Chain A
Amino acid sequence: MADGVSPLVWKEEREISFMSKCHKAMKEKGLDTKLRNTVFHWVRTQNKQSKLDPLTSLTKASVQWEKRIHKSLNSMCSDLETSLAKFRFQSELEELAEKWNELSTYNLDLSKYRPVYAPKDFLEVLITLSGYVPFTKEDEPKWEFAHLPLQVKTLDQLRKIYIEWSNGEPLLGVSPNMPSQVNDFPTLEAERIGLGERVAALGYAPVIQEYLKRGSPQCLRAKLWAQVLGAEVSAQQISYFNQLKRSVLEVDLMIDKLIFKDVQLTASNDDQYFVFEDLLYQVMLCFSRDCEVMQQLRGSTGTPLTVAIKGRQTSADSVTVFPPSGIIPFHGFTMYATPFCYLYDDPVQLYFMFRAFYLRYWHRLHYISTHPQGIVSLCLLYERLLESNEPLLWIHFRNINVNPGHLPPEQLLLLWDSILGYDCLEILPLLSLAILSFRKENIFQVNTLQNVDAVLADLSTISVIPLLQLALMKP
Chain B
Amino acid sequence: MTSSAKICTNGATSNGLKKRLHFCSDFDRSIVINTFLRHGWKEVSPEGDWNIYWSNTLNCRNLFMENRHRLQDNQLINHFPNHHELVRKDLLVKNFNRYRKELERNNHPLAEKIQVRDPSGRTVTRYLYLDFIPTTYILPTDYNLFLEEYRKSPQTTWILKPCGKSQGAGIILINKLSQLKKWSRESKKYLQHQLTSKDTYVISRYIDNPLLIGGKKFDLRIYVLVTSYRPLKAYMFRNGFCRFCSMKYDKSLTELDNVYVHLTNVSVQKHGEEYNESHGGKLGIQNLKLYLQGTRGSDVTKRLFEDIQWLIVHSLKAVAPVMLNDRHCFECYGYDIIIDTDLKPWLIEVNASPSMVGTTENDRILKNRLVDNILSVVLPPNGIPDARWNKTPSSDALGDFDVLIDEDLIYKDNIAQLARETGQGPMRK
Residues of A at the B interface (CB closer than 8 Å) are 101-102, 104-105, 193, 217-219, 221-222, 268-272, 274-279, 341-345, 409-410, 413
B214 & A276 in contact (Cβ 8 Å cutoff): yes
Contacts of A278 in B (CB 8 A): 214-215
24 A-B pairs, CB-CB below 8 angstroms? A101-B215, A104-B274, A105-B274, A217-B298, A218-B290, A218-B293, A218-B294, A219-B298, A219-B301, A269-B278, A270-B278, A270-B279, A271-B280, A271-B284, A271-B362, A272-B283, A274-B244, A274-B281, A275-B213, A278-B215, A342-B294, A343-B294, A345-B295, A410-B286
The number of chain B residues with a CB under 8 A from chain A is: 28
* CA gap between A364 and B276 in the complex, in Å: 35
Least CB separation from B214: chain A residue: A275
Contacts of A104 in B (CB 8 A): 274
B279 & A344 in contact (Cβ 8 Å cutoff): no
* CA gap between A344 and B291 in the complex, in Å: 9
A271 & B215 in contact (Cβ 8 Å cutoff): no
Contacts of A221 in B (CB 8 A): 294
Contacts of A270 in B (CB 8 A): 278-279
A275 & B295 in contact (Cβ 8 Å cutoff): no
B290 & A409 in contact (Cβ 8 Å cutoff): yes
B284 & A342 in contact (Cβ 8 Å cutoff): no
Least CB separation from B361: chain A residue: A271
- Would you give the 0/1 interface string for B226-257, flagging 1 where the beta carbon is closer than 8 Å to chain A? 00000000000000000010001000000000
Contacts of B216 in A (CB 8 A): 275
* CA gap between A443 and B272 in the complex, in Å: 43
Asked if B297 is at the interface of the complex by the 8 Å CB criterion, the answer is yes
B283 & A275 in contact (Cβ 8 Å cutoff): yes
**Shortest distance between the CB of B412 and any CB in chain A (Å):** 25
B294 & A269 in contact (Cβ 8 Å cutoff): no
Q: Quick one: given A271-B278, A271-B284, A274-B276, are A222 and B244 in contact (CB under 8 Å)? A: no
Query: Which 3 A-B pairs give the minimum distances between C-beta atoms?
Result: A219-B298, A271-B279, A218-B293
Q: Quick one: given A278-B214, A279-B214, are A222 and B283 in contact (CB under 8 Å)? A: no
For window 287-332 of B, CB contacts with A under 8 Å fall at 287, 290-291, 293-295, 297-299, 301
* CA gap between A397 and B360 in the complex, in Å: 31
Asked if B39 is at the interface of the complex by the 8 Å CB criterion, the answer is no
Asked if B89 is at the interface of the complex by the 8 Å CB criterion, the answer is no
What 14 additional pairs, Cβ within 8 angstroms, besides A102-B248, A269-B276, A276-B213? A104-B274, A217-B298, A218-B298, A219-B293, A219-B297, A219-B301, A269-B278, A270-B279, A271-B278, A271-B360, A341-B291, A342-B291, A343-B294, A344-B294
B298 & A193 in contact (Cβ 8 Å cutoff): yes
Asked if B282 is at the interface of the complex by the 8 Å CB criterion, the answer is yes
B214 & A342 in contact (Cβ 8 Å cutoff): no
Q: Contact check: which of B213, B283, B294 meets A271 at CB < 8 Å?
A: B283
Q: Quick one: given A271-B360, A272-B287, A274-B276, are A222 and B295 in contact (CB under 8 Å)? A: yes
Contacts of A102 in B (CB 8 A): 215, 248
* CA gap between A279 and B215 in the complex, in Å: 9
Q: Contact check: which of A105, A268, A343 meets B295 at CB < 8 Å?
A: A343
Least CB separation from B280: chain A residue: A271
Least CB separation from A218: chain B residue: B293
A268 & B276 in contact (Cβ 8 Å cutoff): yes
Q: Contact check: which of A101, A105, A222, A274 meets B279 at CB < 8 Å?
A: A274
Least CB separation from B241: chain A residue: A271
Q: Contact check: which of B276, B278, B279, B290 meets A342 at CB < 8 Å?
A: B290
* CA gap between A31 and B414 in the complex, in Å: 58
* CA gap between A343 and B287 in the complex, in Å: 12
* CA gap between A217 and B214 in the complex, in Å: 23
B215 & A269 in contact (Cβ 8 Å cutoff): no
Contacts of B295 in A (CB 8 A): 222, 342-345
Least CB separation from B297: chain A residue: A219
Contacts of B297 in A (CB 8 A): 219
- Would you give the 0/1 interface string for B360-373, flagging 1 where the beta carbon is closer than 8 Å to chain A? 10100000000000
Contacts of A342 in B (CB 8 A): 287, 290-291, 294-295
Contacts of A341 in B (CB 8 A): 291
**Shortest distance between the CB of B343 and any CB in chain A (Å):** 14
* CA gap between A102 and B301 in the complex, in Å: 27
Least CB separation from A217: chain B residue: B298
Least CB separation from A410: chain B residue: B290
* CA gap between A410 and B293 in the complex, in Å: 11
Contacts of A345 in B (CB 8 A): 213, 295
For window 117-152 of B, CB contacts with A under 8 Å fall at none
* CA gap between A271 and B282 in the complex, in Å: 7
* CA gap between A104 and B281 in the complex, in Å: 14
* CA gap between A66 and B220 in the complex, in Å: 48
* CA gap between A342 and B294 in the complex, in Å: 6
Contacts of B248 in A (CB 8 A): 101-102
* CA gap between A413 and B216 in the complex, in Å: 24
A409 & B287 in contact (Cβ 8 Å cutoff): yes
Least CB separation from B287: chain A residue: A272
* CA gap between A272 and B274 in the complex, in Å: 17
Contacts of A410 in B (CB 8 A): 286, 290
Least CB separation from A270: chain B residue: B279
Contacts of A276 in B (CB 8 A): 213-214
**Shortest distance between the CB of B344 and any CB in chain A (Å):** 19
Contacts of B293 in A (CB 8 A): 217-219
* CA gap between A272 and B213 in the complex, in Å: 12
**Shortest distance between the CB of B220 and any CB in chain A (Å):** 14
**Shortest distance between the CB of B218 and any CB in chain A (Å):** 8
Least CB separation from B283: chain A residue: A275
**Shortest distance between the CB of A22 and any CB in chain B (Å):** 36
* CA gap between A101 and B247 in the complex, in Å: 12
* CA gap between A348 and B164 in the complex, in Å: 47
* CA gap between A277 and B213 in the complex, in Å: 11
* CA gap between A105 and B297 in the complex, in Å: 31
* CA gap between A341 and B215 in the complex, in Å: 13
Least CB separation from B282: chain A residue: A271
Query: In this complex, which of A193, A218, A222, A272 has the most chain B Cβ atoms within 10 angstroms of its Cβ?
Result: A218
Q: Contact check: which of B244, B278, B360 meets A275 at CB < 8 Å?
A: B244
* CA gap between A69 and B216 in the complex, in Å: 38
For window 209-224 of B, CB contacts with A under 8 Å fall at 213-216
* CA gap between A333 and B284 in the complex, in Å: 24
Contacts of A101 in B (CB 8 A): 215, 248
**Shortest distance between the CB of A289 and any CB in chain B (Å):** 22
* CA gap between A409 and B286 in the complex, in Å: 10
Contacts of B290 in A (CB 8 A): 218, 342, 409-410, 413
Contacts of A271 in B (CB 8 A): 278-280, 282-284, 360, 362
Contacts of B299 in A (CB 8 A): 219
Query: In this complex, which of A102, A341, A345 has the most chain B Cβ atoms within 10 angstroms of its Cβ?
Result: A345
Least CB separation from A269: chain B residue: B278
Contacts of A275 in B (CB 8 A): 213-214, 216, 244, 283
**Shortest distance between the CB of B194 and any CB in chain A (Å):** 43
**Shortest distance between the CB of B255 and any CB in chain A (Å):** 13
Least CB separation from A222: chain B residue: B294
* CA gap between A363 and B375 in the complex, in Å: 51
**Shortest distance between the CB of A445 and any CB in chain B (Å):** 19
**Shortest distance between the CB of A346 and any CB in chain B (Å):** 9
* CA gap between A105 and B295 in the complex, in Å: 26
Contacts of A277 in B (CB 8 A): 214
* CA gap between A255 and B59 in the complex, in Å: 59
**Shortest distance between the CB of B34 and any CB in chain A (Å):** 21
Least CB separation from A276: chain B residue: B214
**Shortest distance between the CB of B244 and any CB in chain A (Å):** 6
* CA gap between A345 and B278 in the complex, in Å: 24
**Shortest distance between the CB of A26 and any CB in chain B (Å):** 30
Query: In this complex, which of A222, A271, A274, A341 has the most chain B Cβ atoms within 10 angstroms of its Cβ?
Result: A271
* CA gap between A193 and B398 in the complex, in Å: 30
- Would you give the 0/1 interface string for B181-221, flagging 1 where the beta carbon is closer than 8 Å to chain A? 00000000000000000000000000000000111100000
* CA gap between A102 and B247 in the complex, in Å: 9
* CA gap between A466 and B278 in the complex, in Å: 31
Least CB separation from B279: chain A residue: A271
